[in-house]
Structure 1
C-alpha cells in the first residue's frame, strides 16, 4: 500500500538519482570541457573501444533511415575489411541501436514542433589551432548519447537506495548505501571518464537484476512473475555487455550455495534457474546465435545445475549431509568444466581461449603475446594495495567486515539452534535405533543475506585477480553496509535510537575521508586537445580515397573508423580469435622482424596505409611491457635486433612515407 513512508522512500531515491546524474555529468564536463569541443574533438575523446561503439551510433543516426542504419551495422565491411560481419552479434551494440533510434525520433519530433534543442557557435582554441564550430544541447548527437548514459547512472543510484532500503528494511540502510557509494565514487564507477563503455549501460541493469533475485529469495513462494522479471533483467544485462555472462555465473553459483546449505528449496532454485536459462536463450537469439555465449562457462554451469537438480532424489539418499554437500559441489565443478569443453569442441569455438590463458598467466609463469597485451594494462593487473588502503581509510572495508561478521554469527547461531532442535526431535522419535544424521532441513530463513555474502565473496576474488572488476566489488561493499540499519542483525546495540545514532556517526566518519575524495574529483579541471591526432584524421579525410584501408594500433583504428569512415583491418574489440590473429600481424610493426616481413603481413591483410604511432615503439608501462619486449616472448630468432618501428623511422623501405607529424607516421603499403 502506498503511504507516507513509501512516498519518502521514493523521494529520497529520486534525489539520490538526480545528484549522481549531475555528479558524473559535471565531472565529465570538467575533465574534457566537452561543451566547447568540435565534433571531431568530441569523437577523439572516445578512445579505443569507446570510439568503436560510438561509431555505430553515428552510422545509425546518419543513415538515410533507421532500417538503412541497421542494415549497415548488420552487414558491416568497414570494421574488419575485407570481411563482412554482423556487429550486433559480435559487439553487444544494442545500446547504440536504441539510442540511435531514440535520437532519430527525438530529432524528428522536435524539428516538426519547431523546438530548438541545441545552440551552435564558434570556439577560438588558441595554440595556433583554427577556430571550430561547436554545438551544445541535447539535440547534438554526442550530447544526446552521453546524457542518456548519465541519466542511467542516476537511475542506478536510485536503485541502490531502494536496494539498501529493501535489504535492511530501513530508510537508513538506503542512506548509508548511497553515502558510502558517493564517498568512494572513484572506486565504484568510471562512467564519468569513459561513458560509452559497456559497463555504463549494463551494470545499472545488473544492480536491478540482483534486487529482483533478492526479492525472489526473500519471498515465501516463487511465481512466474519472478521468472519473467529476472529473465527480462538478465536479457537487458547481457545484450549490452559481453562480460555479463561472468557476473551472472557468479550469481547462479552464489544462489546454488544457498540451496546446498538448505536456505532455499528446490522450487525456488528451479525458479531462478528457469529465469537464467530463459534469459540466456533469449539473449542468444537476439545476438544472432553468438557462439561464445552458448559455449560460455555460464551456459555450462546452468546445464550442470540442472543436472544437480534432476539428480536431487538420488543425492538426498546419501548417508550424511556433508557427503551430500560435497557431491553437489563436485557435480557442479566437474559438470561445468565438462560441458564447457564439450560445447566448445562440438561448435569449434576458440574465441574465448585467451580468457583461460589470461587466468593461467595470473597464477603461473605462462606468457604469450595476447595475454601480455592484457596484463601490461593496469586495469587487468591484480588489485592495487593502495586501493585497499583507500577503501579502508573511508571505513568502507572495515564497515563491511563488521557487517559480514555479524551476519556470519547470526547464521552460526541459527544453524546451531536448528541442528540441536532437529537432532533432539529425531532422538525423541526413536531412541532405541541408530539414526543416521538427517538431511539438511529446508528452507531456512534469510536466504537473501547468505546470497549476498556469497556474491560479495565472488566479487572480492574477481577484484583481487583483475583490478578492473573492483567496479563490482566496491559497490557491493556499499550495499552490505546497509545492513548496519537492520533491526534484526544489530538488535544487540539496544534501542533503535542508539542504532540510528551509530549509523549517523558511521556516515559522518566515512565522510571525513569521503568528502576529501569527492573534492579531489571536483578539482579535476581539464580541456581535451590532441592536435597531432586531429591533424592525422584531417589528412586522412582530405588526402585518401573513401575506400582506403588502414591498419595500426587498436585505439587509433577506432578513431580512424569513427571520424573518417575509412576501412580498417583491426580494432580494439579483442574477443574474436580471427581479430586477435589480424592484430598480431599488424603489430609486427613493433616487433624486431625485418621490414620486408612486416610489409608482407600487411599486404596479406590488403592494407593500403599503416599508421605507425611513435610512442608505441618506446612506451613501457612496466618491465617487459614495451611492444618489442612482448614480441620477444614469441620471436626468439630476432630478439637481439633493433625494433622494426625504429628501423622504419630511419628507412621506411619497402614502405613509403605518406604523412608524418611528431606523433604519427603513415606508411603507404
Structure 2
C-alpha cells in the first residue's frame, strides 16, 4: 500500500578535633558519637542508593513504554488511521473489549454508559447480560472515567486535546480524517496500556534488584526481558487483551509475597497490600485464578518443606482470601470464581495449615507430606466438583475438556476450536531454541543447579549437626528457614514451565519469570565463588554481552516490522451494514467478525469471541453450523432459533485448514458422523443461497446472507 501522507484539517561541622593537643588526658569523646557519624554516612549512602534505584527504574519504565508504543505504531501506522480503521485494527476479543470503552465514552453521561454495559442486550441478543461481570471490564470502566475527566477538564480550560488531519490513503482509496492526541479515545486507551506496561518494567528492575540483593541483578532481569521480548509479552501487538492490564499487577503481587517471605517479623497488616494487588490482578482477567492457583501451590510446597513459618503462610492466605472475596463481590458474584480450582484449593490449604499442629504428632515428616498431599488433592477436586454440581455451573467445563484432549484421544467441537488455534496448542518447538540462543535458558539452569545444590547442602549440614536421627519440622508461628523466597520462586518457575508447555499462549508467564530468576546470578550469597565483587560483576558483564549477540538481533527483527493497517473488504462490510441495515438488525457469523460488527456498527449480535460461557459456546455452535455438512434447512433453523436476521459468511473460514483435522468441516465431522462426506453448507451457499437465504452483500472476502 502506498505510504500515507498528512495534510492539516482543521551550618555543617568544621571537623574540629575533640583532643587537646599536648594535654596529658584527651577530652572525653561522648559515647556513640563515632558510631553516629558512621551511621550518618551509611544513611546518606543508603539514601543515594535508593534515589539511584528509583531514577534508573523510571528511565527503564519510560524506555519500555516507548519501545512497545513505537512497535505498535510501526506495525499499524496507527497515527495515520481513521477512527474506523483503528476500530477494525482491534480484532477478535480486542474489539469486543474496546466496544464497551467506546460505549462509556460516547454516552451522554458516564452513568448512562455504565448502565448500558451492565444491562447489555446487544452482545448476546436477545439476552440481557451484565458484561462488566462476564468480561472483566473494570479496565475499560477506569479508562472511560479517566477519559471523560480529561476531556472535561481540558474543555473547561479551553485547551485542545487532539489534532486532526486529512490522510490521503493512495491506491484509489478515499481520503480519511485522522486525529492524534489523548483527546482521541483510541489514543487515550492504548497510551495508558503502554504506560502501565512501562511501569511493569520498572517494577521488574526493582524486583530483580531486591531478589538478588544487587542492582546488577535488576539490570540483568531487564536486559533478559528486552533480549527475549517477543517471547515475554505481546502487548505491543494486542493492547486491549486482558493480560495487558492484569499481568503487571501479578508482578507486583509476587513482589509483595517475596517481601513477606523475607520479613523477620511478619505482620498481619502485610496481607493488605497483597490483597489489593490480588484484586487488581483478578478484576481485569478471568484467567487470573489459574495463575494464583499455581502461586498458592508453590507457596504450599515451600511451606511443607519448612521454609515458611505458619504465621507467614497465614498472612499470605489471608491476603489471597481477602482479595478473592472482594473480587467476587466487585464481579457481582461471578460463578466461575466459586467453581474454580483456585477457590477450592484456597479453602483446602487453609484447613491444612490450621490442622498442622495435629499432624505434628507424627514423627516422620514424609508421612505428613503424603497426608498433606492427599488432603490437598482430594479436598481441592472434591470441593470444586461439589460446588459446581450444587450451583449447576458448567462455564469452566471446557477447560477440563481441553486438558483431556491434550493427553488423550478425547475431542469435541469446542475443544477443537481451541486446540486448532496455535496459541492454545502445545509450546512450539522454536520457543526453547529462542531462549537458548539468548543464553536465558542456560543462565536459569545454572541458577537452578547452584541454588538447589546449596540449599540441599545446607539441609544436609543441618541434619548432620542434629542430635536426633529423625528429621522433623516444627511449624511454629515464627520459625522458618532462610531463602524461603528463593525456594518459592523455583516452585513458581516450575509451575509456569508446565503451563507454558501445555498451552503455548501461557509462555507470557514463563519467559518473564525466567528473566527474574536470572537476576540471582548477581547474588553474592549464591555466587560468591565467582570471586571478588569486581570479578563477579565482570563475569556478568561478559554474560550480558554474549546475551546481546542474539538479543540485539531479536530486537532488530522486531524493530524491522513495518506495516500499515488496511482491511478494505471489512471496511466495505461495516459501511454497508451502517448504510443498508436497520439499527435493530441482528447478526451472526465468525466470532472475530462479530466483535467488529458490534464495535463499529452497534448492531445486535448473537455470538462473540469471549468463549468462557457455556451458553455462549452453544450459541456459537449453532451459528457455526453454516460451516457444517448439514442441510441448509437445519442451518437456517439454528439461525432462526437465535433470531438472526443476517449471517456473515467469510470465505476463508470455509476453506482454511491450519493442520490436518482442523478445517471447519472436519471439526464438525466429530459431531455429525451421519453427514460425513457431504458438501459443506458454506460451499453451497457461496454458489446458491436460495431458497433459504438471500445474498444482499458480497465482496472479495465477505458475503452477507439474509434469512428468508
Q: Same fold (TM over 0.5)?
A: yes
Whole-Å Cα distance in 2 between the matches of residues 414 and 663 of structure 1?
66
How big is each residue's C-alpha offset from its partner over 1:303-322, in whole Å with a ceiling of 9 and x where there is no partner?
Answer: 11012112212211123011
TM superposition shift of 1:225:
2.8
Select the residue among 336, 339, 344 that pairs with 1:295. 339
Secondary structure of the 1:656 match is strand
- Size of the alignment, in residue pairs? 659
Quick one: distance in 2 between partners of 1:222 and 1:56? 42
Instruction: Name the CA distance, whole Å, in 1 between partners of 2:425 and 2:171.
Output: 37
Alpha-carbon distance in structure 1 between the residues aligned to 2:216 and 2:269: 29
Match of 2:222 among 151, 170, 178: 178
Structure 2 gaps of 5+ residues are: 1-42
Q: Distance in 2 between matches of 1:152 and 1:474?
A: 19
Q: Which residue of 2 aligns with 1:438?
A: 472
1:524-547 Cα distance to aligned partner (Å, 9 max, x none): 000000000000000000000011
Q: Distance in 2 between matches of 1:61 and 1:340?
A: 39
Confirm or deny: 8 A CA contact 1:320 1:439 kept in the other structure. Answer: no
Between the aligned partners of 1:239 and 1:438, the Cα distance in structure 2 is 41
Q: By how many angstroms is 1:437 displaced?
A: 4.6
- 1:533-548 aligned within 5 A: 533-548=570-585
- Would you say the 8 A contact 2:360–2:474 is kept in 1? no
1:511-522 to structure 2, matched below 5 A, reads: 511-522=548-559
Q: Which aligned pairs between 1:308-327 and structure 2 lie closer than 5 A?
A: 308-327=352-371
Match of 2:621 among 571, 576, 584: 584
Partner of 1:552: 589
Is 1:226 the counterpart of 2:260? The answer is no
Aligned counterpart, 1:652: 689
Q: Does 1:149 align with 2:193?
A: yes
> Of the candidates 510, 531, 543, which is equivalent to residue 547 of structure 2?
510
Select 1:82's aligned residue among 126, 130, 141.
126
- Runs of 4+ aligned residues of structure 1 deviating over 6 Å after TM superposition are none
**Is contact 1:321-1:440 (8 Å) kept?**
no
Aligned-partner Cα distance in 2 for 1:553–1:270? 47
Displacement of 1:384 in angstroms is 1.1
Counterpart for residue 279 of structure 2: 235
Q: Distance in 2 between matches of 1:378 and 1:465?
A: 12
Partner deviation per Cα, 1:124-159 (whole Å, 9 max, x = no partner): 111221111110111100000000000001000000
Task: Report what 1:451 is aligned to.
Answer: 488
Q: C-alpha offsets along residues 555-607 of structure 1, whole Å, 9 cap, x if unaligned?
A: 00000000000000000000000000000000000000011100000000000
Q: Deviations over 1:218-247 (max 9, x none)?
A: 101221331000000000000000000000
The corresponding residue for 2:10 is none
* Contact 2:231-2:511 at 8 Å conserved across structures: yes
Output the CA distance in 1 between the equivalents of 2:678 and 2:89.
36
Q: Secondary structure at the match of 1:625?
A: coil
Distance in 2 (alpha carbons) for counterparts of 1:208 and 1:122? 43
Query: What is the aligned counterpart of 1:56 among 77, 93, 100?
Result: 100
Equivalent residue, structure 2, for 1:17: 61
Secondary structure of 1:509 counterpart = helix
Whole-Å separation in 2 of the counterparts to 1:139 and 1:8 = 35
| Other-structure match for 1:401 | 445
Q: Is the 8 A contact 1:261 1:440 kept in 2?
A: no
Q: Which has the larger radius of gyration?
A: 2
Q: Find out whether 1:3 has 2:47 as its counterpart.
A: yes
Partner of 2:255: 211
1:626 is the counterpart of 2:663? yes
* Change in 2 beyond 3 A, CA 1:81/1:404: same
Tell me how far 1:417 sits from its aligned partner. Answer: 1.4
Give yes or no for the alignment of 1:639 onto 2:683: no
SS state at 2:648 partner:
strand
Q: Is the 8 A contact 1:392 1:398 kept in 2?
A: yes
2:501 maps to which of 453, 464, 469 = 464
SS in 1 for 2:465: helix
Aligned partner of 1:668 in structure 2 is 706
In structure 1, the residue corresponding to 2:72 is in which secondary structure?
A: helix
Q: In the alignment, is residue 131 of structure 1 matched against residue 168 of structure 2?
A: no
Q: Secondary structure at the match of 1:575?
A: coil
Find the partner of 1:525 among 562, 565, 569.
562
2:530 pairs with one of 457, 474, 493:
493
Counterpart of 1:612?
Answer: 649
Query: Out of 571, 593, 599, which is 2:608 matched to?
Result: 571
User: Displacement, 1:421?
Assistant: 2.1
Q: 2:410 aligns with which of 366, 386, 392?
A: 366
What whole-Å deviation, never above 9, does each CA across 1:264-283 have from its counterpart, x for those lacking one?
11111111111111110100
Aligned to 2:293: 249
Asked if residue 187 in structure 1 is aligned to residue 231 in structure 2, the reply is yes
TM-score, normalization by structure 1 = 0.98
Name the SS for the 1:489 alignment partner: helix
- C-alpha deviation, 1:436, in angstroms: 5.1
CA contact (8 A) 1:168 1:483 kept: yes
CA contact (8 A) 2:119 2:128 kept: yes
Report the CA distance between 1:554 and its aligned residue. 0.2
Moved more, 306-315 or 242-251: 306-315
Q: CA deviation at 1:255?
A: 0.5
Q: Deviations over 1:433-461 (max 9, x none)?
A: xx755345741111000000000000000
Structure 1, 411-420 or 561-570: larger mean CA deviation: 411-420
3-state SS of 2:179 partner: strand
Whole-Å separation in 2 of the counterparts to 1:226 and 1:406: 31
CA distance in 2, matches of 1:141, 1:63: 13
Residue 352 of structure 1: how far off its partner (Å): 0.2
Once superposed, what is the RMSD of the aligned Cα atoms? 0.9
